Structure formats: C-alpha cells, structure tokens
Amino acid sequence: MSLTTQDIERIAHLARIRVTPADVADVQAKLDGIFKLIDEMQAVNTQGIEPMSHGLDMVLRLRDDVVTETDHREKYQKNAPQAAEGYFLVPRVIE
Amino acid sequence: MAQWEVVIGLETHTQLTTVSKIFSGSSTEFGAAPNTQASVVDLAMPGALPVMNRGAVERAVKFGLAIGAKINRRSIFARKNYFYPDLPKGYQISQFETPIVQGGGLTITLDDGATKFIELTRAHLEEDAGKSVHEQFDAESGVDLNRAGTPLLEIVTEPVMRSAKEAIAYAKTLHNLVRYLDICDGNMQEGSFRCDVNVSVRPMGQKEFGTRREIKNLNSFKFMQQAIDYEVQWQIAEIEDGRKIQQATVLFNPDTGETKAMRSKEDAMDYRYFPDPDLPPLVVSDEMLARIKASMPELPEAKCARFSSQYGLSHYDALLLSQDGSTASYFETAVNAGADAKLVANWILGEVSASLNREDKTIEQSPVNAVRLSNLVARISDGTISHKIAKTVFEALWSGEAASVDAVIEAKGLKQISDSGTLEKIVDEVLAKSAAQIADYKAGKEKALMSIVGMVMKASQGKANPAQVNDIVRRKLA
C-alpha cells in the first residue's frame, strides 16, 4: 500500500509531530518503506502458530499491593517548566 | 407519530480498593495535596517501568467469578494513545483485544418485581488519568497526577437495556455488587463509580440500532435518570424533525438538566491501540483462581434466596434486605440475637429505614444497633409491649434517651397491661359510656367492636394488650 499526503498529515497530527510541507515527500517515502516491510511480514505463512502479544516468552510479574512511594513533589517539580500551589501548570486546556 | 424504542448500554469505571496504584507503589488515598502521591512511574519519567499490582488482578478476577464470566487466563495490556495534559505518558494502559473478564451478566429487579438478565460484554483493567483544574489559575490549567495510575475495572454491558429505569436498576445492582465483593468503595462523589451511558433510539420493531450518543461521567443515579430522559426526548425530537443523529460524546449539565455534545465523530479520536511492550501477558494462575474462588462471599442473589427459604420472608422483603451487605448483616445479627425474623424484617424495612432516610444515615450509623432492635422485637413477641408502644420505645432508643429496651419500658411505664382484672375494669368503664356502639354491634356491625376496642386502648394509654381486650369485649357483649 502507498500512503497519501493526507495520510501523512493525519498521522503527523495524531502523533503531534510537525511535518512541514517540504518534508512530506521524505516522510512519505520512509513510511512507505516501513509499510513495505510490514507487507513482507504479513506474507509469511503463520498458520498453526499461536499469536504472541510480546516479543519475549514471559509472563507479567506481579507485586504485592503495598505503598512503597513517598512524596517527592518538590524534587519532581524542579523538572517542570511551570508549577504552582502543588500543580503542574500547562497552557490552558478546556474541552 | 412513530413509537420509539430506547436502546441503552453502560460502561462503568469502578475504582478498585487497592491501597497502591495499578503500576506503581504510590498511594491511592483520596484527598491528598496535589501531586504528593505521584511517583516517577505516574509522572512518566523516562526509563520508569510499570509493575503490575496483584491486588488489582485479584479484584478483577473476583468480579468475573461473581458474574459468571469467563476469566481469561492470559490477558493483554495495550496502549490507548491520545494527548492530554493529565496523561503524561501520551497513552493510557488499558486492555483491548483480550480483557481479563469476558461475558457473564447480572440479574436486575425492577420496581414492579419483574426481573431481567443484563449481559456483560467484558470487564478490563486499566489505569485512571490525572485531574485538570481550570478555575484556579488565570491563564493556565493545573494538573494533579495523584489520581493518575489508580486502578480501574471498566465494566461494559451489551446494548440490552430498553429504558432509563432498566439502566438505573442495572447501575444500582452493579453498585451493590462491587461493594459486596469489597472491590470498590462505590463512593460516587469521589468518582469511585462513574457511568458512561450509550443511548440510541429506533422505531419500534426496527432491527438495526439507531446512531448512539455517549453521555460521559455520570456520578449519581439521579443525574443518570435525568440525563437519559433528556437525551431520549432530544434524539426523538431530532429525528421527527427530519434531522439525523450524529455519533457524539455528550456531557450532562445538572444545572440545566440538558445534555450537550463535547466532540462529534469527525474529530473522534483514533486511539491506535497496540500491545504494550512494557507489559508481557497477564496470567491468572490456577493457584490464584482457586484461592479467590475459596474466598468468595455469599452473593446478593444467593443471599436473597436463602433469606426467603431460611427465614420465610417474602421474595420482595428478602430482596430488599439482601441488596446491600450492611443491611443483610444487620438483619442476620438481629435474628441471631433471638428475635422473630419476619418481625425484624418489618422493623428494618419500616421504622429503621425511615429513620435512617430522614437523617441521611447508613445502617452502620444507626443509633439503634441490631442487637437492640432484636431486644425490642423480642419484647413485642413476648407480649411485654404492643406494636404501637414499641414505636415509642424505638424513638427513645434512637434519640439516645435510654440505652436499653427494658430501661425505656421501665422508665416510661410502658409495659403492656395483660392482667385480666385490670383490663376488665377498663373495659367496663368504656362500655358504660358506649351505648350507641353496643347497639350497633348487636345489630351486626362488626366495625362498632373495633371502635370500642379502640376506646379501651386509648383509655389504657395504648398499654392494654389488644388481643386480650378484643376477647374481653366480645365476651362481655355476647
């Protein structure tokens, strides 16, 4: 399959990545390459093989339900561009 | 005008009662100062990895067993991708293709006693997002990530409900069940139990579903009723005016009683689910399954059946008493303390419930505990006090005027008069003043007898034993 310019714009929007009009062709070619790779994998006969959801053959480790973390807000918020009254501040968002 | 059929399905987010988060060791306690319960995992710091909370898995399995669902022994976590400031990773860890719980269902009972089985599609584990505040700051939104990573079990029904009443009955039954199982505290104000309701309408008899709109985040049964009623009327009016329903997510505004679209399908999200590479498959072991099976409490339905057969209660009374765990245990404590089960049931569903409702209290907060109620009922059964006087005693116990049933009876001189000599004297006095009623009774009016008995009761200030008075009056007028 081959991606259209609209597909590229939509994928870029969903990923919140800015792709300038000048870059579209380049991105399109790279993504097409990835899809070609996927097509090749799809062509492999996998009949009789149980699908895996993870690359490693292991199961999820479980931890006991206990509180092990303590409050490090001050330290963590030093990383934030803006914080006040204990909140992280972000550009105003209202749905 | 066409007849319309309403089609409803529910998605309920129940917050699980674990003390720590689903993928981190942060506390889930409600009400802490902003961001004091957010660890590197909850904040999505680079390199931080999720580690699954066993307690959340166990609660999901418990729920699945309770509703007769299939427990997927191997289930998969997926990333649901979207951008919002209260979701620092840019994706929510959820379950998509293979949820931990599949199928099963709940039986609901409607007000008219009719029952209906509500099929569930699935229940899956996921993490909650953080909270945004918009009013507190001038130009920014504040983000509190204490709630981020709180374990949720999202419980999804098939579109099988056909009225707001059925939807509410289902939500209440589910609410009772999760509290019974002790997997969710059910606190709707704090958001521990939130319902999204999918509503569509179609002409009666049509096979295909109409286009649905989803009412988000209803956190009270009253709002749910109002929101569905409004939404149904709105959709019918739109269609009858020749417009098409657009699939949309809507919010209910409790102030106006209206629903309003927040986003339409055109800009609907594309979540691009894929298996989370940070989390290998979740396996429910034989050992875990057996252990949870062994720890299952008696469920509401089984309890209801047992209350009927063991105590001879009507199905309706048994249902009311078994619906929530606290009421059921109050009832059984009172009965085990020696009182007559039917009388205890009547008292709980009558006087006790009315008093609790009046003061907006739960049964655990009842000033008259189960043992005290049992003592009161025992005093009715053994003839010490009449039913009417028992209400006076109950009020005194409720207000805290006295600590024991016998103390109230003693202090107020409420003991029933069963001494036949005393009773005969009162009857004679009343009969002496009741020539008209006596004539009526002798003329065959049974009602006149009741009126005489009533006067005797009054003359005794309610303390006379009514059955005995009845006998004496009949005998004297024979």
Asked if residue A93 is part of any domain, the answer here is: no
Same domain, B304 and B198: no
pLDDT-wise least confident of A44-53, B26-35, B345-354, B416-425: B416-425
Same domain, B193 and B306: no
Q: How long, in residues, is chain A?
A: 95
B410: its two tokens: 């003693």
Q: Which domain holds residue A38?
A: 5-42
Q: How many domains does chain B have?
A: 3
Over the stretch B317-343, which tens digit does the pLDDT of each residue have?
999 999 888 899 999 999 999 899 999
> What's the pLDDT at B459?
82
> What's the pLDDT at B334?
94
Average of per-residue pLDDT across B236-247: 94
pLDDT at B439 over 90: no
pLDDT-wise least confident of B35-49, B366-380, B396-410: B396-410
Same domain, B181 and B269: yes
Q: What percent of chain B has pLDDT over 90?
A: 68
Q: Do A89 and B143 touch (CB under 8 A)?
A: yes
Same domain, B438 and B391: no
Asked if residue A90 is part of any domain, the answer here is: no
Same domain, B212 and B254: yes
Asked if residue A73 is part of any domain, the answer here is: no
Domain boundary among the residues B291, B307, B329 is at B291
pLDDT at B266 over 60: no
Q: How many domains does chain A have?
A: 1
d(CA B361, CA B135): 33
Same domain, B393 and B373: yes
B383-389, long-range: CB within 8 Å, 24+ apart, which pairs? B383/B416, B383/B418, B383/B465, B384/B409, B384/B415, B384/B416, B385/B409, B385/B414, B385/B415, B385/B416, B386/B416, B386/B462, B386/B463, B386/B464, B386/B465, B386/B466, B388/B462, B389/B414, B389/B416, B389/B462, B389/B463
Average of per-residue pLDDT across B452-466: 83
Same domain, B306 and B431: no
Q: Is the ipTM of this complex over 0.95?
A: no
> What confidence tier does B468 reach under pLDDT thresholds 50, 70, 90?
confident
Domain boundary among the residues B272, B291, B310 is at B291
> What's the pLDDT at B264?
55
Which chain B residues are Cβ-neighbours of A91 within 8 angstroms?
A: 140-141
Three-state DSSP at A83 gives strand
Q: What percent of chain B has pLDDT over 70?
A: 98
Q: Do A63 and B39 touch (CB under 8 A)?
A: no
B40: its two tokens: 């590197």
Q: Do A71 and B144 touch (CB under 8 A)?
A: no
> What confidence tier does B2 reach under pLDDT thresholds 50, 70, 90?
low
> What's the pLDDT at B268?
59
> What confidence tier does A60 reach under pLDDT thresholds 50, 70, 90?
very high
Average of per-residue pLDDT across B26-54: 96
Give chain B's mean pLDDT.
Answer: 91
Which chain B residues are Cβ-neighbours of A13 within 8 angstroms?
A: none
d(CA B81, CA B63): 27
Query: Given CA atoms B363, B368, B369, B371 in this order, what sign does their dihedral have?
Result: negative
pLDDT-wise least confident of A81-95, B19-33, B179-193, B392-406: B392-406
CATH number, domain containing residue B454: 1.10.10.410
CA distance B396 to chain A (A): 46
> What confidence tier does B263 reach under pLDDT thresholds 50, 70, 90?
low
Interface test with A, best of B57, B62, B141 (most A CBs within 10 A): B141
Domain boundary among the residues B412, B428, B461 is at B412
Interface test with B, best of A6, A69, A85, A93 (most B CBs within 10 A): A69
CATH number, domain containing residue A27: 1.10.20
pLDDT-wise least confident of B175-179, B285-289, B383-387: B383-387
Same domain, B156 and B19: yes
pLDDT at B182 over 60: yes
Highest mean pLDDT among B134-138, B265-269, B416-420, B446-450: B134-138
Residue, of B77 and B417, whose pLDDT is higher: B77
Name the closest residue on chain B to residue A91, using Cα atoms. B140
Asked if residue A13 is part of any domain, the answer here is: yes
Picking from B43, B77, B132, the nearest residue to A93 by CB comes out as B132
Give how far Cα B244 sits from Cα of B200, B216, B268, B393, Å: 12, 21, 18, 63
Over the stretch B14-36, which tens digit does the pLDDT of each residue have?
999 999 999 999 999 999 999 99
Same domain, B440 and B316: no
Which chain B residues are Cβ-neighbours of A53 within 8 angstroms?
A: 76, 98, 275, 280-281
Same domain, B274 and B334: no
Same domain, B361 and B269: no
Asked if residue A71 is part of any domain, the answer here is: no
Q: Which of these, B170, B176, B175, B148, lies nearest to B157 by C-alpha position?
A: B170
Q: Which domain holds residue B320?
A: 298-412
Asked if residue A62 is part of any domain, the answer here is: no
Same domain, B258 and B371: no
The pTM (predicted TM-score) of the whole model is 0.82
> What confidence tier does B402 reach under pLDDT thresholds 50, 70, 90?
confident
Q: Do B25 and A63 touch (CB under 8 A)?
A: yes
